[in-house]
Structure 1
Amino acid sequence: MIDKLEYFIALAREKHFAHAAAELGISQPTLSAAIRQLEDQLGVILVNRGSRFQSLTPEGQRVLEWARRIVGDTRTMREEMRAARKGLSGHIRLAAIPTTLAMVPRITAPFQEKHPDVTFSVTSTTSLQILSLLENLEIDAGLTYLENEPLGRVTSVPLHAERYHLITAVGNPLSDRESVTWKEVAGLSLCLMTADMQNRRIINQHFQEAGVNVRPRLESNSMIVLLSHVLTGRWSSIMPRNVARSFGFHREIAIVPITEPAAHHIVGLVATHREPFTPLVSALLHQARILAESGID
């Protein structure tokens, strides 16, 4: 039953039998047979399908909620028993919005020092995608904004107040200022995050509050791409100070606080709320709380 529920979750996520089968590493006939067996066991139709996947039925939507809960609890039980036998080990899947990537080693490094048998994978993505990945059990935790947009049912640990600064090459207009306003920054040739990033939506909001609309000359979902363009002297950008400093170009760029408003937005670690947490997620949340208490510059 657990295997069939995992197959069903994958199908609901991919919305395509062949794609879901490839994701699971099984044949499409095996997946189709497993879904039909699950429907027979439960006595309901889960998937509307003709020659291909169309949608989940109302019963399928409800079973999907149960499937996520049951599969999540089963994984938690297995991991807890493994930890009881061997100590903490396994793999943690993290996703992070680009502005938090510089923060990730401050969690992973001390965590792995305590638990050397734990490995990590870290991907960079949007805040909305992090919530989707958590819901579909594709990641264990995410680093994202805790304000501005709904998070759903998650456990969160606030880590840092993200404050925005003008990032520009030394010698460029405004580079010698102690502070600048959003309206002044709007007059520069800007490179900013893409529109699907919450960071960009926040920045757009502050420009609108200042009474200006901005069309950046370049967009990217990568902070290193933005900073690389800043270093040419042709573009300026808007980033949190700790992100700009993390790349080690202190002498070549100016980092100037933006005021009116001097806005800040809380970022932190989020994990799907469940009791009990898996031992790995529980330990990760504990490490995040240690980091929060130490303070992040």
Structure 2
Amino acid sequence: MQTRFIEYFLALERERHFARAAEYCNVSQPTLSAGIATLEGQLGKRLIQRDRRFVGLTPEGEAILPWARQIVAAVEALEQSSATARGALKGELRLGAIPAAMPVIGHLAGAMLARHPGLNIAVRALTSRQIERDLAAFELDAGLTYLDFEPPAHALTVPLYAERAMLISAVDGVHVPDPLDWSDLAELPLCLLHQGMQNRRILDARLAERALALRPIITADSYLALLGLVQQGRLCSIIPDSHTRLLEGLQWIRLHALPDPQEVSRIGIIVSDSAPMSPLAQAVLSVARELHLPKSP
């Protein structure tokens, strides 16, 4: 059984389309189809439901999916281990990061490349749940996410920093009381991340503890979108303090401390708690343990 046929199968399951899967694997569509057919012949089972196009996996295809992912991940780790036994770590580090942690990506990537200059790093903006899912499916080597609220399962973690939330408004925009109370926050016109983002769920939980709820007028999935909305002057938003360095020099923006600045959320690196651990996962953990991030203003 050849590993590349299993890779074709996984690509088709991920892309849900024969042509896109073939493009992802850098082969022609007939080559991909023939490879999957060969895999089906070797297993004696149909793995793909076909009707002139991809329909889905058969029950047998669903059954082998986790094993196929493990096989491909194990082969990749085997090749990395062999290549790095007497040389530098090379290859692509696949890193998933929640939007709240994006401002620290540069520090982590810089430290990784300083120690392992032969690496390439692919960063994907994902929710915390997507990071957990993709780690379990061997589609990520590491994640940068929240550690305490809805803690990740089956993961090794290295804390990097503690995040505080801040309110932002436009200088000539919405009037924000000073000092700010939690009840004031619930009454302000807000644009926030949607509830699929853990940052928002943490914020909602803190308000619920005080018998309050936030009712944003607009929701989005990126802080860049929230900043654009706040700049118009009619809305406020809540962002992590890690973003404040990126906002330095912007004359239109105003920062406001939330009522309890001591409430923090830890963010750190996570990798799958599996043995043996891949060289890439080991390298990320090692660098993360020694990484010193600058404090937010």
Q: What is the rounded CA distance, in whole Å, between the counterparts of 1:277 and 1:170 in structure 2?
A: 50
| Offset of residue 60 of structure 1 | 2.0
SS at match of 2:20: helix
Q: How does 1:144-163 map to 2 (within 5 A)?
A: 144-149=145-150, 151-163=152-164
The answer to whether the 8 A contact 1:175-1:256 is kept is no
> What do residues 84-126 of structure 1 show as CA deviations (whole Å, max 9, x unaligned)?
2431222212221110011212211122122222222222222
Cα distance in 1, alignment partners of residues 269 and 157 from structure 2: 6
Contact 1:164 1:241 in 2 (8 A): yes
Task: Describe the superposition over 1:186-223 as per-residue Cα deviations: whole angstroms up to 9, x where unpaired.
Answer: 11121211333222222233333333333323332221
Which letter does structure 2 place at the counterpart of 1:224? L
**Distance in 2 between the 1:47 and 1:273 partners?**
31
C-alpha displacement at 1:78, in angstroms?
Answer: 0.7
Distance 2:232 2:244 in 1: 15
Q: 2:286 matched to 1:286? A: yes
Q: Distance in 2 between matches of 1:266 and 1:230?
A: 26
* 1:223-242 paired onto structure 2 within 5 Å: 223-242=223-242
Distance 1:136 1:17 in 2: 21
Using the alignment, how far apart are the partners of 2:12 and 2:77 within structure 1? 22
Distance 2:13 2:148 in 1: 28
Partner SS, residue 244 of structure 1? helix
Distance of 1:263 and 1:46 partners within structure 2: 50
CA–CA distance in structure 2, aligned partners of residues 173 and 146 of structure 1: 34
Answer whether contact 2:177 2:184 (CA < 8 A) is retained.
no
Structure 2 equivalent of residue 112 of structure 1: 113
Deviations 1:57-84 (A, max 9, x none): 3332232111111111110111112222
Which residue in 2 is equivalent to 1:212?
212
8 Å contact kept, 1:97–1:144:
yes
Counterparts of 1:11 and 1:149 in 2: how far apart (Å)? 31
Per-residue deviation, 1:232:
4.5
**For 1:95 and 1:42, how far apart are their aligned partners in 2?**
34
- Structure 1 partner of 2:14: 13
Whether contact under 8 Å (1:227, 1:244) holds in the other structure is no
CA distance in 2, matches of 1:255, 1:106: 26
Which residue of 2 is the match for residue 174 of structure 1? Answer: 176
Q: Is 1:97 the counterpart of 2:110 in the alignment?
A: no
- Report the AA paired with residue 105 of structure 1: G
Counterpart for residue 128 of structure 2: 127
Identity within the alignment, %: 39
Q: Residue deviations 1:139-186, cap 9 Å, x none?
A: 322211223336343332222332322223457533642xx3332111
Matches within 5 A, 1:28-107: 28-107=29-108
How many equivalent residue pairs? Answer: 293
Task: Tell me whether 66-75 or 248-257 shows the greater mean CA deviation.
Answer: 248-257
Conserved? CA contact 1:182–1:207, under 8 Å = yes
Amino acid at match of 1:196: G
- Give, in whole Å, the separation in 2 of the partners of 1:83 and 1:6: 23
Q: Deviations over 1:32-60 (max 9, x none)?
A: 22112112212223223343333323332
* Counterparts of 2:259 and 2:9, CA distance in 1: 48
Root mean square deviation, CA, Å = 2.7
**Matched residue SS, 2:187:** coil
TM-score normalised to structure 1 length: 0.86
Instruction: Flag structure 1 segments of 5+ consecutive residues without an equivalent.
Output: none
Asked if 1:138 corresponds to 2:167, the answer is no
> 1:266 — aligned with what?
266
How many angstroms apart in 1 are the aligned matches of 2:177 and 2:91?
Answer: 47
